[in-house]
Amino acid sequence: MSACCGPSRDAVSVTGPAEPTGEPVPSAGASSPRMIALPGGTFRMGTDDASGFAEDGEGPVREVTIEPFAIDAHCVSNARFAEFIEASGYRTEAEQFGWSYVFGGFLPGSLRKISPRLPEVPWWCGVSGASWRQPEGPGSDLAGRTDHPVVHVTWNDAKAFCRWAGTRLPTEAEWEYAARGGLDQARYPWGDELTPGGEHRCNIWQGRFPTHNTAEDGYRGTAPVDAFPPNGFGLYNVAGNVWEWCADRWSPGSPARAMRGGSYLCHESYCNRYRVAARTHNTPDSSTGNLGFRCAASP
């Protein structure tokens, strides 16, 4: 797992107020109001680019045929997720476990000091009370962030939301087809240059990770779900901002699930996984402050 992507839940032990008691059954809901219908077709998936990570299975480039489908224009926002919670009474796994992973740079010193962290990735802290409602743990809230992507959601949480909404998670192939926006083998959703004309097109880390983020793109943490121009298919933030869960397993027989898109913690010095062909993974019960999702649907 890349350092910026987020560790799995079983990597540290955090004492929380509750243990999971099984997944609540969500009630029926409505489909996404902002889905984009795509015609499908054959495209070249993956990359053989030397700047990629061969160990992640990014290559080889291969032709993949996609059936017609629809996909959210942007990630599920805090406001939309709150509608799901209110209608269904669902409790996320982070709330059931009593903790989730938060980037340490967002925490006050007193909370950072008492939150367990991993020696190999000390910028990630297991914070008691962190959840989608309190993204940085006790004392934080969603004020000013209702239009930001919901975070601290596990793969299981995302699946529950999709059942309520009458949707599903996209496959990796669907996600990449949609993220490419009609471009063939471009490195990013808008082309091959990260900042064309000096313009920032996504929310990633600038500066020296993990000690100083210059926030030249305008954001230190998450950005609104519709920040920056959309790609050629009308999708927002398929590079950076938050990682997005996909339906697929990381590899055959693996319990881990694939994640796409990179996040605000990705930095070119070691983790340029905001490229459209990049991928990573986590266990389906893991949650972090840089991981969300968008929905898809079949005709």
DSSP character for 188? B
The count of residues in the chain is: 299
Retrieve residue 221's tokens. Answer: 């943490």
Average pLDDT for 110-127: 93
| Per-residue pLDDT, 20 | 44
Average pLDDT for 225-250: 98
Scanning the structure block, which residue is given the tokens 């992640």? 56
Spatial distance between the Cα atoms of 206 and 13, rounded to a whole number of angstroms = 31
Amino acid identity for residue 293 in this structure: F
288-299 burial, b if ≥16 CB within 10 A, otherwise e? Answer: bbbbbbbbbbee
**Displacement of CA 283 from its chain's centroid (Å):** 13
DSSP character for 220? S
| Per-residue pLDDT, 17 | 46
- Own/partner long-range contacts of 212-220 (Cβ < 8 Å, ≥24 apart): 213/105, 219/264, 220/264
Average pLDDT for 124-129: 97
Spatial distance between the Cα atoms of 157 and 161, rounded to a whole number of angstroms = 6
20 vs 123, higher pLDDT: 123
Q: pLDDT, tens digit, for every residue of 6-48?
A: 788 876 667 554 444 444 444 444 445 689 999 999 999 999 9
Q: What's the helix, strand, coil split of the chain in %, to 5?
A: 20, 20, 60
Percentage of the chain surpassing pLDDT 70? Answer: 91
DSSP character for 28? P
Q: pLDDT, tens digit, for every residue of 67-117?
A: 999 999 999 999 999 999 999 999 999 999 999 999 999 999 999 999 999
Give yes or no for a contact between 213 and 207, defined as CB atoms under 8 angstroms apart: yes
| Per-residue pLDDT, 272 | 87
* HSE-up (13 A, CA, CB side) for residue 128: 13
Retrieve residue 138's tokens. Answer: 């006790």
Instruction: Examine the pLDDT at 243 and tell me if it is beyond 90.
Output: yes
Average pLDDT for 227-241: 98
Average pLDDT for 130-151: 98
Average pLDDT for 244-257: 96
pLDDT, mean over the chain? 91
| Per-residue pLDDT, 181 | 98
| Per-residue pLDDT, 58 | 87
Q: pLDDT, tens digit, for every residue of 251-265?
A: 999 999 999 999 999
> What are the residues whose beta carbons fall under 8 Å from the beta carbon of 192, sequence distance 6 or more?
186
Q: Which residues pair with 118 in a beta bridge?
A: 121
Spatial distance between the Cα atoms of 177 and 169, rounded to a whole number of angstroms = 14
Give yes or no for a contact between 140 and 173, defined as CB atoms under 8 angstroms apart: no
| Per-residue pLDDT, 52 | 77
